Amino acid sequence: MAVRSLNKVMLIGNLTRDPNLRYTPNNTAVCSFGLATNRAWNTDDGREERTDFHNVVSWAKLAEICDQILQKGDKVYVEGRLQTRDWKVDDGPDRRVTEIVIDNMIKLASPRGRSGDNSGDSSDYKKKESTEEPAKESEVDTEEVADDIPF
């Protein structure tokens, strides 16, 4: 009998930086950005809060969409999987990073408090939105990126 496993991540948070779009040598788009999630709870001493920071990566058409419509401060829902990568550097210790590789993204709100409907002052924004495809993309193999490129 085969043992099943699950690697699924769902987060709602705010972008900590503008998305960074790059292309692999095979011309596949890859976009990375930071996401902050907050949680709060009550203790005997009062209210405690914690913020966690996550590295998020998207591929192919979803990467291009993230670059077009997201900006620092936006509230988004992302869905994907955890992935840990290791690489060696010549002049230092080996490096390791854990990322969330997403296959779905929904913009919830912008820093100005507008919802994801994008009604507002940017006509260029509306043009980009009308031509975009659904955010759900097939998974792209991460081996296409050179191992020595940290994201």
Mean pLDDT of the residues in the chain: 80
Phi, psi of 125 (to 5 degrees): -60, -40
SS3 147: coil
Residue 10 above 80 pLDDT? yes
Prediction pTM value: 0.69
Number of neighbours of residue 135 by Cβ within 10 angstroms: 19
What does the alpha-carbon distance between residue 134 and residue 123 come to, in Å, rounded to a whole number?
A: 20
Q: What is the pLDDT of residue 109?
A: 76
Contact 66, 100 (CB under 8 A): no
